[in-house]
Amino acid sequence: MSEITIKKTFRIPIYFGKLIVVVTDNLQAAADGMALGFDTQGFGALASQRTTKNGLREYAILIGPNCTLKDVVHECVHVANFIMKFTGISPDLDNDEPQCYLVGWIFGCAASVFSKYEINKQK
């Protein structure tokens, strides 16, 4: 993972597991280094999930050099949905506060990492 610029891990409150946020100059190298098995061509960012050998849930957001804020929010919603699905929580369109707070927390984690990095905020 020599291409990774910044990598930070957060413990997920309430739902357990870890959130890994990576900001990189080379999205493909970062995905390969984390053994995600993704072809990242054409993507600004991506989200993934997996269970470790120890049974711990890991969720990741990888932010590449062509990423926009819209891409980051998009991936945060994916991660929130991964977490909710794994924990057996169905999204409730009449009471979406739990999902909104979770997306906000995930975005806050991502923002604390990419705020130190030049992200394309114009698109």
Judge contact between 112 and 2, C-beta under 8 A. Answer: no
pLDDT exceeding 90 applies to what percent of the chain?
Answer: 73
Instruction: Please report which confidence band the pLDDT of residue 116 belongs to, taking 50, 70 and 90 as the band edges.
Output: low
What φ, ψ does residue 122 adopt, rounded to 5°? Answer: -85, -25
* 19 occurs within a structural domain: yes
Domain of 41 in residue numbering reads as: 4-114
What φ, ψ does residue 87 adopt, rounded to 5°? Answer: -90, 0
* 122 occurs within a structural domain: no
* 119 occurs within a structural domain: no
What pTM, to 2 d.p., does this model score?
0.89
Tally of domains within the chain: 1
pLDDT at 9: 97
Which pLDDT tens digit goes with each residue over 43-85? Answer: 999 999 999 999 999 999 999 988 999 999 999 999 999 999 9
> Token digits for 2?
């020599």
* 121 occurs within a structural domain: no
Judge contact between 82 and 66, C-beta under 8 A. Answer: no
